[in-house]
Amino acid sequence: MSGTARTLLYGVGLGPGAPDLMTVRAREIILCADRLVHFCKRGRRGNARTTADTIVAPDPAREIELAFPVTTEASVGEPDYDGPIATFYEAAAEQLAAEMQAGRTLAVLCDGDPFFYGSFMHLWRRLSPRFPTEVVPGVTGMTGAWGEAGAPITWGDDVMTVLPGTLPEAELARRLADTDAAVIMKLGRNLPKVRRALTAAGLAGRAIYVERATMARQVVARLADKTDDEAPYFAMVLVPGEGRRL
């Protein structure tokens, strides 16, 4: 943030999961921030905080856990999801605001990049107008995925589309049919729907399933070879482009 005010809020991208893919700037902030904030499922440690273990050991005096009230990805506009989640972000923002009003610096630890489908954005929208803020970019999960899959995603003039699996099936199929390459995120319970949309768009044969890219228990396979419909949060489908090659 421009100006002379001391930065109080940091959105820190930690990359796709492998600690050595963290940036130097991310490491610096993790070491010096007064509070380390991370999102998690209730009763479980967040993935971003686990990634940061190689930098800082757990310290209850520094930790702020933000436990989601709902942890299953919902379809777009689903009221039973949007309402509780919005209330959660409002309460979390006020909790963090109280810390910053006391002069403490906060590092919100984010998987991938804070501004790419990140939960941090909902805090940023509420807090950045009030407090000096810096966003530290991170390697995205999809970048880690296509690197681990050994799959160049765009060739020549290929157009790539990033899609959340929460979209309606017909919308997924329409957008897939109109692109050269694609990344489909937010799989989970949406995987069967995504399979059908890929088939309708004629892309199922090119699809690659990647689970927990760069992390322990990583899985990379042709989607056609995946025999079940189970997918964790940290999973995505890649559809590499087939454009101009020199």
pLDDT, tens digit, 9 for 90 and up, residues 47-93: 999 999 999 998 999 999 999 997 666 665 667 778 889 999 999 99
| Region of residue 102 (left: phi > 0; alpha: psi -120 to 50; beta: else) | alpha
Task: Give the residue-averaged pLDDT of 211-220.
Answer: 96
- The dihedral sign for the CA sequence 89, 45, 138, 54: positive
Distance (Å, whole) CA 190 – CA 27 = 34
Residues forming CATH 3.40.1010.10 domain(s) in the chain: 9-139
Q: Looking at residue 83, what is its pLDDT? A: 86
The pLDDT of residue 30 is above 80: yes
Chain-wide mean pLDDT for the chain?
Answer: 94
Where does the chain hold its CATH 3.30.950.10 domain(s)? Answer: 142-239
> Which residue's structure tokens are 């979390």?
92
- Residue whose entry in the numeric block shows the structure tokens 């309460």: 91
Residue range 9-139, CATH number = 3.40.1010.10
Tokens for 162? 């990033």
Residue 233: the pLDDT is 87
**CATH number attached to the domain at 142-239:** 3.30.950.10
Average pLDDT, integer, range 124-145: 98
DSSP 8-state secondary structure symbol assigned to residue 182: E
| Mean pLDDT value of segment 4-8 | 81
Residue 43 has pLDDT above 90, yes or no: no
% residues pLDDT > 70 (the chain): 95
List, edge to edge, every strand of the sheet that includes 63-68.
63-68, 35-41, 106-110, 9-13, 133-136
Pairwise CA distance, residues 99 & 82, whole Å? 26
Each residue of 85-133: pLDDT tens digit? Answer: 999 999 999 999 999 999 999 999 999 999 999 999 999 999 999 999 9
What Å distances lie between residue 246 and 12, 150, 156, CA to CA? Answer: 38, 18, 8
Residue 79 CA to residue 67 CA, distance in Å, equals: 19
